[in-house]
A and B are shown apart, each in its own frame.
Chain A
Amino acid sequence: MSTDLESLQTQALAEIESASDPRAIEQLRVDLLGKKGRVTELLKQLGGMAPDARKAFGERVNLAKEALSAALSSRARTLEDAALDARIAAETVDVTLAGRGERCGALHPVTRTIRRIEAIFASMGFETVEGPEIEDDWHNFQALNIPESHPARAMQDTFYALDGSRLLRTHTSPVQIRTMEKYRDSGRQPPIRIICPGRVYRVDFDRTHSPMFHQVEGLYIAENVGLADLKHDLQRFLTLFFEREAEALFRPSYFPFVEPGADVHMKWSAPGQPERWLELLGCGIVHPNVLEAVDIDPERYSGYAFGMGVERLAMLRYGVDDLRLFFNNDLRFLEQFA
């Protein structure tokens, strides 16, 4: 009797040890410990035993069951571990292969520059406003103190449409007028602090001129705004934009819609070239005729205005030396700004 049990246990342990996959373990568990398993079968012999022998044999069978059950679990764990190790070994990838999917695109450098300009002026309290590109003579010229036959009109060669009744704005300055008109029509009073980015157009097409380009206009109207404020704000803008202390030079100049007027130059050194003064933008104190054109009392309010070419700033900032690159839209050029 006991010899049967011992030899069964020995044999069963050997079978468990040689089981090679979880399925075989499960089969063995049923085979040995299931309702009709070989160990369970042994218990059927209990019926013909004396009470003492029955107790002793029962205990030995239970011990054997526990031992086999533990051996089955242990073997199962070993097999699982080995299987996982094998899977891990098989799953090794070449991490130097490229990632999959789509790269991010880029904003056009001109848009990128406008965004920066907007963000800098927003931090200084300027709101961004926009206006139409197909303008009338009043907003583009007359209200800006550029009457018919003013020689300044020859400074800006204009595209006309609809038999001359409309024109493509030659600068973003008409948005000044439209904004001040809006204030007037809604009964609002200054202060006004805006910038106006956008497309502008001039009949000029060569290596250094594009018939369409971008400007950002600025306007600040309040009580007692003067040249000293303009100097401060533009100097600060240039310092923030170029991320270095900007040395700006304000030189008297002439634009019909400002008086006094100035253009702003900045000390610039390109690699391999001597340092020089670069003209960056035009500005000045808003001409009283402009304020009167939109019913703002020049005795009460004064203000400054400025206009800057976005492409010029973008070229300096990003080291672009040919204006035409901006409008060819060659992906190989544009992707550099991603």
Chain B
Amino acid sequence: MKLSERWLREWVNPPVDATSWAAKLNMAGLECEAEPLHEKLPRGVVVARILSAQPHPQADRLRVCEVDAGTGTPLQIVCGAANARAGILVPAALPGAELPGGLRIEQAKLRGVDSSGMLCSASELALADKSEGLLELDASAVPGTPIETHLALADQLLNLELTPNRGDCLSIAGVARETAALYGLQACSPAIEPATVSSEACVALSIEDDKGCPHYVGRVIADIQPDARTPDWMRERLRRSGIRAIHPVVDITNYVMIELGQPMHGFDLARLNGGIRVRRARAGETLKLLNEETVTLSPDDLLIADASGPLVLAGIMGGEGSGVTAATTSIFLESACFDAVSIAHSGRRHKLLSDSRYRNERGVDPALQRRALERATALVLQICGGQPGPVVEAGAAVERGPAIRLRSAQVARLLGHTLDNADIETLLGRLDIALQREADGVWTAHAPSWRPDLRIEADLVEEIGRLYGYERIPPRRYAAALPGFAVTESTLPTAPLAQRLLGRGYQEIITYSFVDPALQAKLDPEARTIRLDNPIAETMAVMRSSLWPGLVATWIHNRQRQQPRARLFETGAVYALNTDGTVHETQRLGGLLAGSAFPEQWGARPVRNFDFFDARGDLEAIDASWHCIAAPHPALHPGQSARLYRGTVPIGWLGALHPRLAASMDLVESVLLFEIDMAALRDRAAPRGEAVPEVPSSRRDLAIVVSEQVPAQALLDVVRACGGPYLASAVIFDVYRGSGVPAGHKSVALGLIFQHASRTLNVAEVDQAVTEIAAGVNTQLGGSLRG
């Protein structure tokens, strides 16, 4: 909201410039900036009266005007505007003038006719973005007056960006009140007296929902002049708040809204059928609004209606059929207080924005209605004439807020700073908060009607702190002892796990939690996904059920930017629906490897792409307490897909992206993916440091031929089970297929280490263990020692 500084200064005049004023409001919690109304004012432009306008002898569209620009002798100015006609007052840029856009005006000849300047439109003076014809001024304007004087253009704007609790400051009166409190001044206001009633014209009034509308006043003003014109001073003030002049009655209601903060409405009396009713809408009723939109109403909507039906969506927007027009001769003015919640509801449901809704949903002063009505009446009489009728009223004004107990001890506690009781009284007094002393440092307070946001003690504490100045409250170092919190080892936080991946060359990424449903369906087709009701785009429409869509999309993005390889990981939540409809949110760690297995470098390594075992090795580096079982996953290569288990609990997946899927995404290089539950990774025992034997161990290497169907893990399990008490470790160091090994079989080379805790094992003991292993492998897996 923008307000004219000059207008504000008529109400309160702090001894500082606009910039400091804005800074003061800022520090009191009203976000505010001062900005110039115009970067550049016109120079040499004056009020001029057109004395005559004759057709140009050489050009149909041009007119030769004789004007009185206050220079003593009439000037001849050639003009192309359609509305140039004798009698009107317009701005004239005289030779030597400079317009805000930089245009300089000189004595000229237009199509052979002398022209001593230029008559101006509003846009040429930077008073409007676009405009048609000459800017017509008040009939009472004095020729020769500089236009910047006539329109009071030397002005600044205070641009306020208010928080929703400060609806009371959405007006000149409100900002003046706040300013007065901050500077310890008195704000003044124009005298507002009840109009002398000169007509008996009246509209019957009934409120059928007094919660939705606690107070409504209105009056008829008969016999207004339909050709009245909104004066320049009012047009200018409205323009400074971003409101265009439309019709004197509409302009006056807008003016009073900006000035006092009361949204009002003017009806054309002739278009009303019977009395005014404030009621809830009936389901299915429709109303065509001023913005030409037709809304379908529900019983949640509050209406102003007459015998024929809905007239106005109360407090939000007028209807097309009942407003004032150029033909209006009698009006009914409405000034009402509506329930803020109800307005917010309707406004949001119908997605209607208006100055009226903006104020009403923030709460309008419930004691302001009659004052605003009288102010508007006086302005109508002044500008349009007419005969005011008696004020009709329903409901009642509320003058003061509810009682709030205020204790100075609570002020000191919540601010962390002690203020004198006298200071508290003074500060609250400046805000018109009525205080009644109950005991030493205890008061009963009543906020003024315009501060519905002040309801509880803490609200008053904020007012005290705000006026006192947050900057004056010294920081206090907290001294009380707090219990330490647990730093666990048995549940690891994410950080050390991530650190291990960083050390292996992984880059962490953060991707959106909502992903493309098409991509997710490819990578996690079985998930019960959660779709957003109002996604930003279809490609961000479902909550991710897996980290893979984000990882794969990130790889594609980087690949398109010539990156040859990547190790990526992300940690974060994935989301799915349980069968009972509840939401299941799990923290996961996901990773992707793609492209060449090593960075481009010189040296001996063979150039190859990442494979399953690179990924598996990385996973083993962060945690080795799980095992793999071959299992199919719809997104993974059928021969390179493993489910990870910890004990019997499945904790994740590891594998190569399915070649068909890869092809569908134009990925030619290998892509390895893994995903694992964070909870499973975090849960681990603290390590135990046991003594290690000092005596030497014995090593035997065995080559065992088994069927291709026997997984390495099964072989190791048998070896370990049969290896006796001294088998300390068994490791596979080669897998061979080819000459010497029957087709469909493989030769697995095992390195076995035998170790006794306190003595050297003898050969017979080791031989015995090897024999047991060979026998076990043979009977359980059909394997044999290779000669």
For the complex formed, measure the closest distance between the CB of A17 and the CB atoms of chain B, giving whole angstroms.
Answer: 42
CB within 8 Å of B: which A241-274 residues = 249-254, 259-262
B166:A98 contact, CB within 8 angstroms: no
Task: Say if the beta carbon of B466 comes within 8 Å of chain A.
Answer: yes
Bitwise interface map of A from 208 to 227 toward B, beta carbon under 8 Å scored 1, else 0: 00011000000000101111
B601:A330 contact, CB within 8 angstroms: no
Binding-face segment, A21-29, A67-75, A101-109: A101-109
Bound-complex Cα distance A105 to B593 (A): 13
Bitwise interface map of B from 489 to 524 toward A, beta carbon under 8 Å scored 1, else 0: 000010100100111111111111110000000000
Bitwise interface map of A from 80 to 122 toward B, beta carbon under 8 Å scored 1, else 0: 0000000000000000011011111111101100010000000
B27:A285 contact, CB within 8 angstroms: no
For the complex formed, measure the closest distance between the CB of B549 and the CB atoms of chain A, giving whole angstroms.
Answer: 13
Bitwise interface map of A from 20 to 52 toward B, beta carbon under 8 Å scored 1, else 0: 000000000000000000000000000000000
For the complex formed, measure the closest distance between the CB of B179 and the CB atoms of chain A, giving whole angstroms.
Answer: 15
Bitwise interface map of A from 194 to 237 toward B, beta carbon under 8 Å scored 1, else 0: 00000101010100000110000000001011111111110100
For the complex formed, measure the closest distance between the CB of B404 and the CB atoms of chain A, giving whole angstroms.
Answer: 12
Bound-complex Cα distance A125 to B480 (A): 11
CB within 8 Å of A: which B527-542 residues = 530-536, 540
Nearest to A164 among chain B residues (CB) is: B533
B504:A102 contact, CB within 8 angstroms: yes
B510:A111 contact, CB within 8 angstroms: yes
For the complex formed, measure the closest distance between the CB of A210 and the CB atoms of chain B, giving whole angstroms.
Answer: 8
Binding-face segment, B285-293, B414-422, B754-762: B414-422
Task: Say if the beta carbon of A185 comes within 8 Å of chain B.
Answer: no
CB within 8 Å of A: which B323-347 residues = 340-342, 344-345
Q: Which residues of A contact B457 (CB under 8 A)?
A: 288
For the complex formed, measure the closest distance between the CB of A157 and the CB atoms of chain B, giving whole angstroms.
Answer: 9
Nearest to A212 among chain B residues (CB) is: B512
Bound-complex Cα distance A225 to B482 (A): 13
Task: Say if the beta carbon of A193 comes within 8 Å of chain B.
Answer: yes
A98:B476 contact, CB within 8 angstroms: no
Task: Say if the beta carbon of B7 comes within 8 Å of chain A.
Answer: no
A149:B345 contact, CB within 8 angstroms: yes
B511:A327 contact, CB within 8 angstroms: yes
A261:B462 contact, CB within 8 angstroms: yes
Known contacts A250-B470, A252-B466, A260-B465; is A104 also within 8 Å of B502 by CB?
Answer: yes
Task: Say if the beta carbon of A152 comes within 8 Å of chain B.
Answer: yes
CB within 8 Å of B: which A133-171 residues = 133-134, 147-152, 154-155, 159-164, 166, 168
Task: Say if the beta carbon of A181 comes within 8 Å of chain B.
Answer: no
Task: Say if the beta carbon of B746 comes within 8 Å of chain A.
Answer: no
Q: Which residues of B contact A104 (CB under 8 A)?
A: 502-503, 505
B583:A134 contact, CB within 8 angstroms: yes
Bound-complex Cα distance A313 to B272 (A): 58
For the complex formed, measure the closest distance between the CB of A146 and the CB atoms of chain B, giving whole angstroms.
Answer: 10
Bound-complex Cα distance A166 to B533 (A): 10
Task: Say if the beta carbon of A172 comes within 8 Å of chain B.
Answer: no
A228:B474 contact, CB within 8 angstroms: yes
Q: Which residues of A contact B561 (CB under 8 A)?
A: 330, 332
Q: Which of B28, B480, B495, B507: most chain A CB closer than 10 A?
A: B507
Task: Say if the beta carbon of B689 comes within 8 Å of chain A.
Answer: no
B414:A226 contact, CB within 8 angstroms: yes
A160:B534 contact, CB within 8 angstroms: yes
For the complex formed, measure the closest distance between the CB of A234 and the CB atoms of chain B, giving whole angstroms.
Answer: 9
A259:B461 contact, CB within 8 angstroms: yes
Bitwise interface map of B from 441 to 471 toward A, beta carbon under 8 Å scored 1, else 0: 0000000000000001111011001100011
A227:B530 contact, CB within 8 angstroms: no
For the complex formed, measure the closest distance between the CB of A336 and the CB atoms of chain B, giving whole angstroms.
Answer: 11
Bound-complex Cα distance A208 to B61 (A): 49
Task: Say if the beta carbon of B413 comes within 8 Å of chain A.
Answer: yes
Q: Which residues of A contact B733 (CB under 8 A)?
A: none
Majority-rule SS of A interface residues: mixed
A329:B558 contact, CB within 8 angstroms: yes
B470:A252 contact, CB within 8 angstroms: yes
For the complex formed, measure the closest distance between the CB of A235 and the CB atoms of chain B, giving whole angstroms.
Answer: 6
A334:B470 contact, CB within 8 angstroms: no
Partner of A154, one of B348, B531, B563, B566: B348
Known contacts A232-B478, A327-B510; is A161 also within 8 Å of B530 by CB?
Answer: yes
Nearest to B30 among chain A residues (CB) is: A252
For the complex formed, measure the closest distance between the CB of B417 and the CB atoms of chain A, giving whole angstroms.
Answer: 5
Q: Which residues of B contact A97 (CB under 8 A)?
A: 602
Number of inter-chain CB pairs below 8 Å = 233
Q: Which residues of A contact B534 (CB under 8 A)?
A: 159-160, 203
For the complex formed, measure the closest distance between the CB of B737 and the CB atoms of chain A, giving whole angstroms.
Answer: 30
For the complex formed, measure the closest distance between the CB of B669 and the CB atoms of chain A, giving whole angstroms.
Answer: 15
Task: Say if the beta carbon of B151 comes within 8 Å of chain A.
Answer: no
Bound-complex Cα distance A102 to B456 (A): 62
Q: Which residues of A contact B483 (CB under 8 A)?
A: 191
For the complex formed, measure the closest distance between the CB of A332 and the CB atoms of chain B, giving whole angstroms.
Answer: 7
B557:A330 contact, CB within 8 angstroms: yes
Q: Which residues of B contact A147 (CB under 8 A)?
A: 341
A105:B508 contact, CB within 8 angstroms: yes
Q: Which of B361, B457, B482: most chain A CB closer than 10 A?
A: B482
Q: Which residues of A contact B27 (CB under 8 A)?
A: 251-252
Bound-complex Cα distance A262 to B478 (A): 19
Nearest to B542 among chain A residues (CB) is: A161
A259:B585 contact, CB within 8 angstroms: no
Binding-face segment, B567-575, B656-664, B680-688, B713-721: B567-575
Task: Say if the beta carbon of B184 comes within 8 Å of chain A.
Answer: no
Q: Which residues of A contact B416 (CB under 8 A)?
A: 224-231
B413:A287 contact, CB within 8 angstroms: no
Nearest to A289 among chain B residues (CB) is: B456
Nearest to A166 among chain B residues (CB) is: B583
B476:A232 contact, CB within 8 angstroms: yes
CB within 8 Å of A: which B541-597 residues = 543, 554, 557-558, 561, 563, 566-567, 572-573, 575, 581, 583, 585
Known contacts A107-B502, A107-B508, A226-B414; is A260 also within 8 Å of B601 by CB?
Answer: no
Partner of B533, one of A132, A161, A199, A201: A161
B533:A331 contact, CB within 8 angstroms: no
Known contacts A211-B540, A331-B558; is A160 also within 8 Å of B533 by CB?
Answer: yes
Q: Which residues of A contact B581 (CB under 8 A)?
A: 162
Bound-complex Cα distance A63 to B565 (A): 73
Task: Say if the beta carbon of A326 comes within 8 Å of chain B.
Answer: yes
For the complex formed, measure the closest distance between the CB of B355 and the CB atoms of chain A, giving whole angstroms.
Answer: 15
B573:A331 contact, CB within 8 angstroms: no
Bound-complex Cα distance A98 to B506 (A): 20
Bound-complex Cα distance A251 to B23 (A): 11
| A-B residue pairs, 8 tightest by C-beta | A226-B416, A228-B416, A252-B29, A260-B462, A254-B163, A232-B475, A228-B476, A102-B505
Which A residues are closer than 8 A to B by beta carbons?
97-98, 100-108, 110-111, 115, 125, 127-128, 132-134, 147-152, 154-155, 159-164, 166, 168, 191, 193, 199, 201, 203, 205, 211-212, 222, 224-233, 235, 249-254, 259-262, 285, 287-288, 302, 326-332, 334-335
Inter-chain pairs besides A101-B598, A125-B484, A251-B27, 17 sampled, C-beta below 8 Å: A103-B505, A105-B507, A107-B508, A149-B345, A151-B340, A159-B534, A163-B533, A166-B583, A193-B482, A228-B415, A235-B475, A251-B26, A252-B466, A254-B29, A259-B462, A260-B465, A327-B511
26 contacts between A and B (CB under 8 A): A100-B601, A100-B605, A102-B567, A103-B599, A106-B507, A110-B510, A125-B482, A125-B484, A127-B485, A133-B573, A134-B585, A149-B344, A150-B344, A154-B348, A160-B532, A160-B533, A162-B533, A162-B581, A199-B513, A226-B415, A228-B476, A232-B478, A250-B470, A254-B163, A260-B414, A329-B509
